[in-house]
Structures are given as structure tokens and as C-alpha cells.
């Protein structure tokens, strides 16, 4: 099993300098950074560290995944946020859990006492609501459907829709893997507050796209 740590960036220099040195190269087979047009020194830092880099040609995090996944050498992709929301030291636990034969392993912020320090009342409610909806509609057993930090087998992702850019890949994977009865596990992991930059997520707009995606996936035959 080969693993790619996928790191989407857009002006994340503060987080990159503090978080990336904590990642040991032997934990994964590849560290792949896909950059959405950073102007704050992120690109220069990535080059100096010798990470593999892709320059994103389209906008949005969903398109970042769409462009990056075909270029990842790993059979398993670990989506990682470099802004301190993802804890690097959990990466080996993710790899070990995937080696048990799972199709996806989620680092849940709400499992076994784990917590999010980055939630506000709006995002906390949104995470709870969408997780409940996905579990009911698609037969999932998740505690966290929206978190980025997760590992998944690249070959089973399928087509990534491009017309709902704010929905993100995370709810899509949660819906699709539950609907197809794939083998999914969760492990607990805190979400610390982000470092530097600004949050790109707009809760209301993201929520609308997630609902539209949910309707589409419910009746999809893919």
C-alpha cells in the first residue's frame, strides 16, 4: 500500500512553517502539495522543502482534489490541512488503520472525547446536522462527515462533480462510501484552531452546495 499525503494550499505560509516540519518523511510515500495560487511565500517554502508541487489550474478546494488525485502516486490518499486543523502525529495511526483493509478512515472530531477548537456555533451545528442527514439518507454510521483529515483508497472515489465547488470532497466521500456500503472506520482526533490565513469556507453557501450534492447523490447510479 502506497500513501500520498495531499496538502491543498492557498496562502498558508504561517501554518506550513509550523506544521510541516512535524511530518516525518517515512510516514508516507509521497507528500504532494497542490497550490491554488499562493502569493505569501507558500510556494517558495514548498520548493525549498523539496515537496512535490502541482499548480492548480481551476479554483476551489473540490477542483484541487479533482486535479490532484490522478497525479498522486499513492493507492491511499491522506487529505491534510496545513493550517493546524490537522494534527500531523495522527498520520501513522491513519495508515495503520487503513492497513486493516478499510476503504476510508476518518479522523473524527466528535468521537470518544475528541473535540474541535475551531468550531463556532454555526459550524458545530452544521457538522452535526449534515452528519445526521447523511447517516439517515445514505445509511452511514458516522460521527463526522465534513472533516478534511481522512485517508481513502483513491481507486474507489469515482467522478468528482465540478459544478458544486463549495460542497467539498469530504461530504461527497461520506455519502458515496455509505451508499456503496464500503468499509469505513473512524479514529478520534482533535481539531486545533487554525493558524494564519483566513477561513475560505462560507457556511451558508457551503451548506447549500452540500444539500444539492446530497439530493444528487441520493438518486445517483454511479
In which order are the strands placed within the sheet that holds 184-188?
52-55, 30-35, 3-9, 76-79, 150-153, 104-108, 184-188
The closest of 81, 60, 90 to 6, measured between CA atoms, is: 81
Task: Please tell me the pTM assigned to this model.
Answer: 0.93
Least confidently predicted of 4-18, 155-169, 191-205: 191-205
Number of H helices and E strands in the chain, helices first, is: 7, 7
Please write the tens of the pLDDT for every residue from 5-56. 999 999 999 999 999 999 999 999 999 999 999 999 999 999 999 999 999 9
What domains are defined for the chain?
A: 3-218 (3.90.550.10)
Q: Which residues contact 141 (CB under 8 A, 6 or more apart)?
A: 135, 178, 184
> What are the two backbone dihedrals, phi and then psi, of residue 70, each rounded to the nearest 5 degrees?
-65, -20
Q: Per residue in 81-91, pLDDT tens?
A: 999 999 999 99
Going by their DSSP bridges, the two strands 30-35 and 3-9 should be labelled as parallel
The answer, yes or no, to whether residue 222 has pLDDT greater than 80, is: no
Q: Model confidence at 198, in pLDDT bands (50, 70, 90)?
A: low
Contact 34, 8 (CB under 8 A): yes
The single-letter DSSP state of residue 207 is H
Contact 70, 32 (CB under 8 A): no
Identify the pLDDT of residue 168.
84
Amino acid at each position: 500500500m502506497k500513501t500520498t499525503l495531499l496538502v491543498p494550499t492557498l496562502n498558508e505560509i504561517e501554518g506550513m512553517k509550523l506544521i510541516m516540519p512535524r511530518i516525518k518523511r517515512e510516514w508516507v510515500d509521497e507528500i504532494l502539495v497542490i497550490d491554488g495560487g499562493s502569493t505569501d511565500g507558500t510556494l517558495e517554502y514548498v520548493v525549498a522543502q523539496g515537496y512535490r508541487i502541482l499548480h492548480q489550474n481551476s479554483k476551489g478546494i473540490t477542483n484541487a482534489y479533482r486535479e490532484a488525485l490522478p497525479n498522486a502516486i499513492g493507492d491511499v490518499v491522506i487529505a491534510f490541512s496545513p493550517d493546524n486543523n490537522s494534527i500531523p502525529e495522527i498520520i501513522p495511526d491513519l495508515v495503520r488503520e487503513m492497513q486493516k483493509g478499510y476503504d476510508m478512515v476518518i479522523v473524527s472530531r466528535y468521537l470518544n472525547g475528541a473535540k474541535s477548537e475551531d468550531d463556532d456555533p454555526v459550524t458545530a451545528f452544521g457538522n452535526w446536522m449534515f452528519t445526521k442527514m447523511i447517516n439517515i439518507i445514505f445509511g452511514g454510521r458516522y460521527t463526522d462527515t465534513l472533516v478534511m483529515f481522512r485517508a481513502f483508497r483513491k481507486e474507489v472515489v469515482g467522478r468528482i462533480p465540478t459544478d458544486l465547488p463549495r460542497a467539498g470532497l469530504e461530504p461527497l466521500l461520506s455519502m458515496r462510501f455509505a451508499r456503496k456500503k464500503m468499509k469505513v472506520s473512524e479514529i478520534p482526533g482533535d481539531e486545533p484552531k487554525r493558524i494564519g490565513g483566513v477561513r475560505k469556507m462560507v457556511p451558508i453557501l457551503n451548506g447549500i452546495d452540500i444539500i444539492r450534492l446530497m439530493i444528487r447523490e441520493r438518486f445517483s447510479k454511479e
